[in-house]
Each structure stands twice: as C-alpha cells, then as structure tokens.
Structure 1
C-alpha cells in the first residue's frame, strides 16, 4: 500500500531517459533508499519501492531483474531471487518481508517520487 503522504512531498529523481527501460535506479529521498523502476511494456510507467531487501539484509532491489508473474509486475532481488510487486511492495514468497511502495509519476520528462 502506498504511504499516506501529502502531495507537497514530491521530489524529482532524474530524467526518465536516464533509466534504461525495464531496469531500476536507487535514489536517496529524505534519508531513505528508494528503488525507482522504468517499466516499458504495453505502456511506459514508473514505480518506486523501498530498496532494502529484508530477505538478504542489503539494499539491492534497484539492481534486480524486472519482469512479471501472471498479472503482477515484479522485481526479482539479485541476492535470493524473491519477487517484489512493484505496485504494492509485497514480497510474493514471504509477505512478512514486504517493502514500502511509493507513488511515482513522470511529468515533463522527469521522474517524481512521493516520499
């Protein structure tokens, strides 16, 4: 679930063209590492979830492989390969290890994250 945050907390992270399609980057927002993903499938979208992988104990989710499992768009952690839903942050294999999700959007070619 998206964190309940005021709209005034949107931060420009980078230009959309700075994120290779179907990969992620890490951004530091208010002291937190956030994994920001540029997904290009039937449409072009951006997603943001916490970068910290609670299964491995390291901040690596931005370096994971983006794909889909059924109707879910996910990133597979590069360490133990657990899948995290990019809409919700839910860890599919271990829901108790889910990560926060953040609202993300593209405006005027820039990626904005609400955190």
Structure 2
C-alpha cells in the first residue's frame, strides 16, 4: 500500500513589476524564504533561491544576469557558476542546481509560488 502526500502551494505577492529594474536582481522575503527576483522585461520575471548553491551565502540577487543562447541566466557573484534562470541547471558544474520558483504578474504585482 502506498500513500500519497498532497503538496499545496500558495501564490505570495512580493512587489510591483515597476519596482524592479530590468536586468538586475533584488531580494524579497517570500513567506520565510529569501528569493532573488530578476526582471528581464515587463512580462518576464524569474525567482530563484537567494542562497548560492556552492557556498550557501545569500548573494544570488547580486548575481550577473545574462544569457546562454536563448536561455536567461544568472551567475553567482562569488565563484561565477552560471545557472539557467528558468530551470536552475548549472552550466558550469552539473553537480549544482539553483532552486527556482514559478512567478506570475497579477495587476502589476509579482507573485511567487511557494510550498504552503
């Protein structure tokens, strides 16, 4: 007999899209988590864990935003590991991964989905 655990999520309002400068990260407290928000344009906002997967330091909002082909990226400001903003995959060290969160924009407000 197997049991199933239901995972519930919540959408947490964080800030207005206009509060973020395109191409830069900002840290937000989402529930009890520090999340780095990265706005690329009016309709494209990413959310990733603020803690660097390699060192554990809370620095990812200060990472270097860029791209690998069509894939938007953020590089750790400490050791320059490069992560895909959408999937969290690390391009420079396959053993590392950055937690990502889904985002949506409702009435100009960025909402981040987190486990309840």
TM-score normalised by L of structure 1? 0.86
Q: Is the 8 A contact 1:37 1:62 kept in 2?
A: yes
Q: Secondary structure at the match of 2:18?
A: helix
Match of 1:23 in 2: 24
Task: Name the stretch that deviates more: 9-18 or 63-72.
Answer: 63-72
Match of 2:110 in 1: 111
Match of 2:35 in 1: 34
Q: Secondary structure at the match of 1:95?
A: coil
Q: Is the 8 A contact 1:50 1:89 kept in 2?
A: no
Name the Cα RMSD after superposition. Answer: 1.7
What are the ranges of 5 or more consecutive residues in structure 1 without an aligned counterpart?
Answer: none
Whole-Å Cα distance in 2 between the matches of residues 32 and 23 of structure 1?
19
TM-score normalised by L of structure 2? 0.85
The 5-angstrom pairing of residues 2-21 of structure 1 reads: 6=8, 9-21=10-22
Whole-Å Cα distance in 1 between the matches of residues 72 and 8 of structure 2?
26
User: More helix per residue: 1 or 2?
Assistant: 1
Match of 2:3 in 1: none
Total equivalences in the alignment: 109
What is the Cα deviation at residue 108 of structure 1? 0.6
Match of 2:96 in 1: 97
